[in-house]
């Protein structure tokens, strides 16, 4: 276990080297809330500066906090990954490169017949009188070398971490409390352990891609997740605000989510007459819907939603909070799924 001991010593040294104590300053105060300025004998702490920063520019505060967390989490995962690889290699009595050479190929997807035929055709081997069967082994070797080892490494590390019993991560992501208001639309079990809040825009192309993603999450995690929609129509999308008001009119008749899906299915055509057509298509009472839309009965609700979003630093769509954890823009299903699984692994009281 020499490699593990060496790594442990390096980490301990790094931690010790990062502690700098200023003479005359309480070390507990320095660690928890350092003093950054003294004005006429009055100490000004970092938390006070951060509070003013958040008050003045909630968006940049939230995004930079998130970026810092993600960078630190990547570094933490790298340290843990290196540690468990060294430990496993030491247990087997081999080097880490040898361990990876043995294990990663097992976790890489096998080369398909279609890929072999495509490579065979591109190489022009038929014209050279070489059959597919004669070239198969060589083609497979070439195709396997081209595959990225990154996915296989991630899978192997996940397996090692899952089997480990002495690794506990207590480093938490930054969170914001996002209240669910009476005017917000929700779907899923009330009291679910995971709350996914989306600030969205019906004219936003990326928000449209969220629809199947969220449905997949709902199917995968069922009663563990509740979804919340909050309006954030962007100024650059002229049809977004009328669409948000129309969706609220649909909600008055208990069919918000059906109308929500209908709007995204027809995102390129959100004029006022079309909004009324969609209401008829999902069998809303047309007169009540038209009156609601024509009289702008939900204009103030949408304006209030915009103010709420600004208070949380929302400036783009989609902006999603998973139990208060920020996710912005186009990210793959796997990112949402990973965060939800991390949240489900936490003690219920830690939500």
Cα–Cα distance, 338 to 70 (Å, whole number): 14
- For the ranges 164-168, 234-238, 309-313, the lowest mean pLDDT is seen at 164-168
Q: Which of the two residues, 256 and 25, has the higher pLDDT score?
A: 256
pTM, to two decimals = 0.70
Cα 230 from Cα 186, distance rounded (Å): 9
CA–CA dist 18, 176 (Å, integer): 29
- How confident is the model at residue 319, as a pLDDT? 94
Per the CB < 8 A criterion, the answer to whether 290 and 142 are in contact is: no
Q: Which of 78-92, 164-178, 250-264 has the lowest mean pLDDT?
A: 164-178
Reported as a pLDDT band with limits 50, 70 and 90, residue 57 is confident
CATH class, range 185-350: alpha beta
Place of tokens 């069998």: 283
Is residue 263 very low, low, confident or very high in pLDDT (cuts 50, 70, 90)? Answer: very high
> Residues 6 or more apart from 202 whose CB is under 8 A from it?
233, 239, 240, 243, 244, 247, 260, 263, 264, 267, 270
Checking if the pLDDT of 3 tops 50, the result is: no
In this structure, what are the phi and psi dihedrals at residue 9, rounded to the nearest 5 degrees? -65, -40
Residue with tokens 């929500």: 260
Q: Each residue of 209-220: pLDDT tens digit?
A: 999 999 999 999
> What pLDDT is attached to residue 16?
33
With a cut of 70, say whether residue 350 has pLDDT above it: no
| Torsions phi, psi for 140 (to 5 deg) | -60, -40
Q: Which of these, 54, 339, 70, 306, lies nearest to 176 by C-alpha position? A: 54
Token digits of residue 148: 């990225």
- Asked if residue 274 has pLDDT above 50, the reply is yes
DSSP assigned state of 175: -
Task: Tell me what pLDDT residue 24 has.
Answer: 38
Q: What is the mean pLDDT of residues 44-67?
A: 88
**All CATH 3.40.30.10 domain ranges in the chain, comma separated:** 185-350
pLDDT at 27 over 60: no
Q: What is the average per-residue pLDDT within 326-350?
A: 85
């Amino acid at each position: 276990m020499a490699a593990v001991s060496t790594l442990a010593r390096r980490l301990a040294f790094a931690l010790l080297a990062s502690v700098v104590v200023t003479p005359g300053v309480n070390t507990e105060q320095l660690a928890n809330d350092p003093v950054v300025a003294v004005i006429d004998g009055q100490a000004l702490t970092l938390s006070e500066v951060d509070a003013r920063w958040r008050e003045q520019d909630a968006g940049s505060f939230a995004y930079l906090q998130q970026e810092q967390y993600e960078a630190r989490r990547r570094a933490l995962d790298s340290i843990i990954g290196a540690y468990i690889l060294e430990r496993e290699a030491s247990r087997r009595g081999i080097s880490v490169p040898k361990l990876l050479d043995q294990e990663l190929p097992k976790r890489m997807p096998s080369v398909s017949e279609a890929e072999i035929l495509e490579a065979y055709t591109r190489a022009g081997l038929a014209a050279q009188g070489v059959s597919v069967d004669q070239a198969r082994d060589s083609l497979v070797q070439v195709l396997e070398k081209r595959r990225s080892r990154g996915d296989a490494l991630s899978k192997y590390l996940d397996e090692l971490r899952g089997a480990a019993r002495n690794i506990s991560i207590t480093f938490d992501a930054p969170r914001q409390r996002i209240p669910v208001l009476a005017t917000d639309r929700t779907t899923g079990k009330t009291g679910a352990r995971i709350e996914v809040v989306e600030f969205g825009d019906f004219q936003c192309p990326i928000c449209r891609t969220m629809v199947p993603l969220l449905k997949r999450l709902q199917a995968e995690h069922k009663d563990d997740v509740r979804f919340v929609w909050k309006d954030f129509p962007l100024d650059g999308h002229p049809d977004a605000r009328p669409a948000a008001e129309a969706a609220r009119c649909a909600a008055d008749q208990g069919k918000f989510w059906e109308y929500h899906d209908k709007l995204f299915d027809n995102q390129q055509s959100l004029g006022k007459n079309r909004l009324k057509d969609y209401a008829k298509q999902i069998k809303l009472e047309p007169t009540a819907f038209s009156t609601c839309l024509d009289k702008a009965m939900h204009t103030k609700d949408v304006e209030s939603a915009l103010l709420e979003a600004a208070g949380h630093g929302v400036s783009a769509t989609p902006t999603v909070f998973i139990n208060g954890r920020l996710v912005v823009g186009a990210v793959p299903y796997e990112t949402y799924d990973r965060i939800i699984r991390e949240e489900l692994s936490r003690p219920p009281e830690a939500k």
